[in-house]
Amino acid sequence: MKKILFALSLAAVMTVPGYAQAQAREVTFSTQLSNYGGDGAYLALYLTDADGKYYETLWVSGEKSKYYKHLRDWARGSGLNQAEYDGLTGASVTSGRTQNVTLELDDALIDAGYQVRVDSAVEDMRDNRSDVVVPLTTEGSGKSVAGRGYVQSFVYNLK
């Protein structure tokens, strides 16, 4: 009986306004590719900590996992463990097109030193590690940055 009362009182405390609960925020990531004249690009959108250490996969574009090894920094960080990207994949993105991905991110990740990174690769063309690296901050929301490879521009918007 004591265990039941404790569980009920804990549940009541957790629903009290002001009690610290994990909050999520909707974020839209837009990746505009340049006109590079090749096949569809594979992209890995992921988070690293301030030191560049892999933290979490956000999205992978390209459905054939045999090509994921070409997204080198992401592949090394994720270990290409399917559990890291299961359910977070979509079609590759073609030259000149824009990929928009909207996700819910924990508020604790924003303004906490995390970086958003994009690795890119195109069949029979060069692979680009860290094509985009941008801090995940409130201030950076809505500000477009240029990529270093196939990504022409990248922007995220916090809602």
Q: What pLDDT sits at residue 33?
A: 98
The structure's pTM equals: 0.85
Which residues of the chain have a pLDDT value below 50? 1-20
Q: What pLDDT sits at residue 21?
A: 55
What percentage of residues in the chain have a pLDDT greater than 70? 86
Q: What pLDDT sits at residue 147?
A: 98
Q: What pLDDT sits at residue 17?
A: 42
How far apart CA 82 and CA 27 sit, in angstroms, is 23
Q: What pLDDT sits at residue 18?
A: 43
Query: SS3 breakdown of the chain: % helix, strand, coil, rounded to 5?
Result: 20, 40, 40
